[in-house]
Structure 1
Amino acid sequence: MSTRLSYLPALLALLTLPAVAANPPEADYLLASQLQPVQAAVIKHNPYTPGSPWLEVGVRSQSLVFYDALGVARAHYAISTAKNGVGELANSYQTPRGWHRVCERIGDGVTPGTIIYRRQVTPWMYSAQLHQEYPDKDWILTRILWLCGMEPGKNQGGAVDSYDRAIYIHGAGEHVAFGTPTSRGCVRMRNEDIVELFALTGNGLDVLINENL
């Protein structure tokens, strides 16, 4: 028998071996997740009241972040601040800057989309049709976090008092282009987002409106 033919039985044995099965999709996913680095939590401690939870409203980024007492970012939302930019003067329709505090909470438990008029919960509901009929109406919906300025002369007292100006974080209609400044001074949020934020927070919460973020 030639040398070449002597390898034939071994070659046939290799060809008849069963194929090695590929990893199942879930195994590949687990392997990939083990190889990827874990994303570090965003931590930003409250510089106004150390050790307390707080909100940071970013005017440039049109975002709102909720930080817990340890400074860990727990929730991030797209928002809409004032179309006229930032400023503290009454009747400017601008969003005030600096440190505030949640002084009053309105709308606990009401159905999302409920219209709140002059800080009173009404029996009326927002709808796209209603907005078409009154396109210039500044709809305040679902929940209100009413802000008090904490910096005398800047956003507290006189003609720059945020509380007297009725500056809120509040729910808004589906017509709002979130991520873009559109409001008349308040901080607008999606209805489902303000419901979640309302449940996460309480009275006395520190709020920084940061024009540089």
Structure 2
Amino acid sequence: MKWCACWLIGLLPAVAMAEPPPQADYVLWAQSAPVIPLYPNPHRRDLPWLRVSVAEQSLTLYDGMGRAQRRYKVSTAVLGTGSQVGSYQTPLGWHQVCAKIGDDAAPDNIIYRRVVTAWHYTPALHEQYPDRDWILARILWLCGMEPGKNLGGDVDSHDRAIYIHGAGSHVAFGTPTSHGCVRMSVDDVVELYRQVPLGTDVVIEP
């Protein structure tokens, strides 16, 4: 009986050791969890950045580690991509946010020549002036960073007044409709504006 008791007691530690420690469960979970892709800023590492995809008609906000924080539907130029003055096309390449306009504007405030006006957008107003390029709520003014491509001469994005800006409810976001700028819904551009400081890098890709 003594031998049996000792034998049984000797088993107890083995049984206890068979229980996986809590950290083992965490390691297993971590190994089986889906991998979240990271897209760190290739232009200036460790800083947040924006990526506009013309093909996807989307704008993605990344944090300094390269994690996608938000993805928005946008609308780029109906005439495609290009940098020439008067082309009404969306320029490609690296830019920076070099001015922010509309800090306290209402979502339906019309911005005209970079001044927040007392006028308010309505669908009825758009029906009355269907060809007007309504700029609403907020502007992120882009400056090109690539000489000869979107900076200087007759391809300068800043001189062309290329913006990320709010647009009216008549816009079919997710399809190209603009005159060269990157259009966003007013709710989305207000949200983005709060998160994007001056100097933020922006790349516009085909």
TM-score range, shorter chain: 0.7 to 0.9
Identify the residue that residue 115 of structure 2 maps to in structure 1.
120
Q: Secondary structure at the match of 1:198?
A: helix
1:39 CA displacement: 4.8
1:42 CA displacement: 3.8
Q: Give the whole-Å Cα distance in 1 for the aligned partners of 2:46 and 2:196.
A: 15
Question: CA-to-partner distance for each residue in 1:157-212, whole Å, 9 max, x for gaps?
Answer: 0000000000000000000000000000000000000000000111000000001x
Q: Equivalences for 1:1-213 in 2 at 5 Å?
A: 39-211=34-206
Q: Any unmatched runs of 5+ in structure 2?
A: 1-28
Identify the residue that residue 15 of structure 1 maps to in structure 2.
none
Q: Give the whole-Å Cα distance in 2 for the aligned partners of 1:125 and 1:100.
A: 30
Identity of aligned residues (%): 58
1:38 CA displacement: 5.0
Runs ≥4 residues deviating over 3 A: 37-42
Q: Give the whole-Å Cα distance in 2 for the aligned partners of 1:202 and 1:109.
A: 16
Question: CA-to-partner distance for each residue in 1:61-110, whole Å, 9 max, x for gaps?
Answer: 00000000111100100000000000000000000000000000000121
Q: Radius of gyration: which is bigger?
A: 1
Q: Give the whole-Å Cα distance in 1 for the aligned partners of 2:96 and 2:184.
A: 18
Instruction: Identify if the C-alpha distance between structure 1 residues 165 and 40 changes in structure 2 by more than 3 Å, giving closer, same or farther.
Output: same
Q: Secondary structure at the match of 2:74?
A: strand
Q: TM-score, normalised by structure 1?
A: 0.81
CA RMSD in angstroms, aligned pairs only: 1.2
Q: Secondary structure at the match of 2:159?
A: coil
Q: Secondary structure at the match of 2:107?
A: coil
Q: Give the whole-Å Cα distance in 2 for the aligned partners of 1:57 and 1:115.
A: 24
1:41 CA displacement: 3.2
Instruction: Identify if the C-alpha distance between structure 1 residues 123 and 39 changes in structure 2 by more than 3 Å, giving closer, same or farther.
Output: farther
